[in-house]
Amino acid sequence: MRHVLGIDIGSTGIAAAVCRGVGESWSEPVAMPPVESILHVAPDATVSVGAEALRQSVTEPDRTARGFLRRVGDDVPFLLGDELYTAEALTAAAAGWLVDQVAAEEGEPAERIAVTHPPSWGTYRRKLLLDALHAAGLPPAMLLPAPVAAAEGHLARERIDPGTLVGVCRIGGEHADLAVLHRGPTAFELVTHAEPAEPVSGKVLDDLLFDHVRDRCGEVAPSALRLVCAEAKERLSVLPETEIGPVRVTRAEFDRLARPGLLATLEPLRRYERLSAVLLVGGTAAVPLLADLVAGLTGCRAVTEPEPATAVARGAALVARLVEGAAVESTALVPKVTGFPDLEPEDVYDDEPVPPRPPVVLTPLEPPRRRFVPSRRGGSRSEDDK
């Protein structure tokens, strides 16, 4: 079926959402279950992502990679097995794996894809990733900052008047991004952003719970206890208390543990007094304390997006369906905004210098020869299989 695809590649999870063509119109975005952000490249260059990559990592850890999106623009490549791959080539391979999985379900490849990136990226990193997506043979691709995708998703449910300033707070498994957007006549424009140096992410909250209970869970293996703590954190988002092994933990206890770090992470939002709302996205956005702290710091509404772990991917899919006929390589959706001197806008779209690195002699770097996991419904469409 005719469709477009929004892709959000994080450090711990990868989310995708599909909008299907229904006659002359498009359906609302439907999110796929997120998969773990891990990629495995086999000796024959077959790529797997998520659960299968995690399984392969047990026996071939030297062929797996994590955190590749955040390393786009880094001159030092990933060494997987005996092959070198740039971070952008692996990011494109992960996106291609998703495109192929959805194509197997829909019966044809996506017409367009929209891939999100951190708000701090300038033209240098964006061009690297766009070139890698093109080299991987993917459908026409566009890039947009994750906060813009989140705001577009919110706009589909609630009117946001032109001229309005909206904050976006994304707290994921390992990173946190804060941004301020201006609603222009036709699109959201990035005004400024902040990436806390030591954010309280989902994993940090898991560690706080782990430290809180480990002395009382002496017989539980540390690795198993960390998994239990991660599950307990999610339960405490909807329940007033839960059990971690033999220990009962209340939401009030968890809030006391999380409050200092979350306040430090959210501190940059205190500067902005003209925000109409702050949108909360990312897997950790479901923690009720986060909305309370944001509202207290900014004095405006804190809106936790529905299914916050996939909110950015859904917004990206909405943008992908709206740009039919546009030049998808353009960054016109996210121009730098001027005229807000009180917000100290950052020129985040200037060309970024290449990160300084010592000289490294590399063999030619290419994407994995077979981008995708062979589909159960047909097989790989790579040149190697023809």
Domain tally, the chain: 2
201 pLDDT tier (thresholds 50, 70, 90): confident
CA–CA separation, 116 and 195 (whole Å): 16
Residue 33 sits in a domain of what CATH number? Answer: 3.30.420.40
Share of the chain above pLDDT 70, in %: 83
Specify the pLDDT at position 63.
95
**Domain residue limits at 248:** 202-259
Residue pair 113/320 in contact by the 8 Å Cβ criterion = yes
pLDDT beyond 70 at 136: yes
Mean pLDDT of the chain: 84
pTM of the model: 0.83
For residues 111 and 208, membership in a common domain is answered with no
Instruction: Establish if 89 belongs to a structural domain.
Output: yes
Give the pairing of strands 113-117 and 3-9: parallel
For residues 210 and 150, membership in a common domain is answered with no
pLDDT in tens, 273-295: 789 999 999 988 989 999 999 99
For residues 104 and 8, membership in a common domain is answered with yes
Q: What is the mean pLDDT of residues 295-324?
A: 90
For residues 149 and 8, membership in a common domain is answered with yes
Share of the chain above pLDDT 90, in %: 65
Residue 346: strand, helix, or coil: coil
pLDDT beyond 50 at 333: no
Residue pair 293/180 in contact by the 8 Å Cβ criterion = no
Specify the pLDDT at position 370.
40
Cα 28 to Cα 3, 22, 41, 311, 325: the distances in Å are: 11, 10, 34, 13, 20
Instruction: Establish if 177 belongs to a structural domain.
Output: no
Of 214, 237, 259, the position where a domain reaches its end is 259
pLDDT beyond 80 at 362: no
Specify the pLDDT at position 166.
95
Instruction: Establish if 284 belongs to a structural domain.
Output: no
Q: What is the mean pLDDT of residues 161-186?
A: 91
CA–CA separation, 57 and 70 (whole Å): 20
For residues 89 and 220, membership in a common domain is answered with no
Specify the pLDDT at position 357.
44
Instruction: Establish if 292 belongs to a structural domain.
Output: no
For residues 55 and 151, membership in a common domain is answered with yes
Q: Identify the residue with better confidence: 378 or 316.
A: 316
Q: Identify the residue with better confidence: 231 or 373.
A: 231
Of 259, 285, 302, the position where a domain reaches its end is 259
Residue with the two structure tokens 């405006």:
300
pLDDT in tens, 48-68: 999 999 999 999 999 999 999
Specify the pLDDT at position 323.
64
For residues 62 and 134, membership in a common domain is answered with yes
Instruction: Establish if 55 belongs to a structural domain.
Output: yes
Q: Choose the weakest-confidence range: 40-44, 71-75, 173-177, 211-215.
A: 173-177
Q: Choose the weakest-confidence range: 103-117, 149-163, 359-373.
A: 359-373
Specify the pLDDT at position 175.
86
23 pLDDT tier (thresholds 50, 70, 90): confident
Q: What is the mean pLDDT of residues 87-113?
A: 94
Instruction: Establish if 285 belongs to a structural domain.
Output: no
Specify the pLDDT at position 377.
34
Specify the pLDDT at position 353.
47
Residue among 331, 332, 333 nearest 319 (CA): 333
For residues 49 and 136, membership in a common domain is answered with yes
Spell out the residues 6+ positions from residue 5 whose beta carbon is closer than 8 angstroms to its own: 16, 17, 18, 98, 99, 102, 110, 112, 113, 114, 139, 317, 320
155 pLDDT tier (thresholds 50, 70, 90): very high
For residues 148 and 210, membership in a common domain is answered with no
Helices (H), the chain: 51-59, 87-106, 123-135, 146-155, 202-213, 222-235, 251-266, 288-298, 311-322
Q: Choose the weakest-confidence range: 70-79, 229-238, 240-249, 319-328.
A: 319-328
CA–CA separation, 171 and 265 (whole Å): 9
Specify the pLDDT at position 379.
36
DSSP letter, residue 41: E
Q: What is the mean pLDDT of residues 42-47?
A: 89
Instruction: Establish if 271 belongs to a structural domain.
Output: no
For residues 58 and 145, membership in a common domain is answered with yes
Q: What is the mean pLDDT of residues 136-141?
A: 92
Instruction: Establish if 123 belongs to a structural domain.
Output: yes
For residues 120 and 206, membership in a common domain is answered with no
Q: Identify the residue with better confidence: 211 or 329.
A: 211
For residues 9 and 148, membership in a common domain is answered with yes
Q: At what angle do helices 222-235 and 202-213 cross, to 10 degrees?
A: 110
Q: Identify the residue with better confidence: 157 or 365.
A: 157
